[in-house]
A = this chain, B = another copy of it.
Amino acid sequence: MTPQAEIALSDPTLIAPINAAKELFWRQGYDETSIEDVVGATGMNRYALYNAFGGKLELFLAVLENYFVERKNLFLTALSDPQGGPMAAIREVSEYCIIEMTDRGAGCLMCDVAAEVGRYDKAVSERVLSYLEEIRSADEMALTQAEACGELNPAISPKEGAALLIANMLGVGALARNGAGRRELLTLFNSCLRLLGRQGDAQGLQRKRRNPQARTVKQVSN
């Protein structure tokens, strides 16, 4: 991130324009979003925009950073002190993300749009990978707790499980971007979570249960 973009992020009057621009980039992509679009959506004029951010790329970097931080907070808050247990917390934040993606039919700002920009600027790709790693590690933390309460499928380590969750969410994003429906994507995520959980270890679970027919898993209502 450029120093200018960093300054932009800390200026409270720029929060609203950044959010407006984020919405545009997220829905339309980087190339498809013109400065004129941003002028229209933010209410700022070109002069002020260039003054505050420096240019289109720098504006996008500020947007991306804002999205990064927001997303990280979302995950860390929900996963560091999960009320209903770690698996429930993972489900909660993930379903929130899926709803965001299907609302926009636009996948993940970080991975899809940022990858577009990554073609110009390799630093963006690296930033994306490092952020994904941060989120993966938040997932891993939650899965470690899950392991401790016996909620994790013993066939897998928290680390591997977290990587699977990330990949699954990226896949869900790719499908959303091509127009897949919310219900379908929630079901897909649900299968993933089921395999990661103790329920994925079907026989092992059955052996512990008093009534094996209760094996089916509570589905999301969507």
Q: Does A170 contact B (CB under 8 A)?
A: yes
**A interface bracket (residues with beta carbon within 8 Å of B):** 35 or more
Out of B119, B171, B179, B205, name the residue touching A129 (CB < 8 Å): B179
| Residues in chain B near residue A154, CB distance under 8 A | 202-203
- Distance of A199 Cα from B191 Cα, bound (Å): 17
Contact with B along A96-115 (1 / 0, CB 8 A): 00000000000110011011
| Residues in chain B near residue A178, CB distance under 8 A | 111, 114-115, 118, 125, 128-129, 132
- Distance of A128 Cα from B32 Cα, bound (Å): 20
Each complex incorporates copies of this chain amounting to: 2
| Residues in chain B near residue A31, CB distance under 8 A | 31
- Of chain B, the residue at the smallest CB distance from A206 is B204
19 pairs from A and B in contact (CB 8 Å cutoff): A31-B31, A111-B178, A112-B174, A116-B116, A118-B177, A122-B179, A128-B178, A129-B180, A153-B202, A156-B195, A164-B188, A166-B171, A167-B168, A168-B168, A201-B204, A202-B204, A203-B203, A203-B204, A207-B207
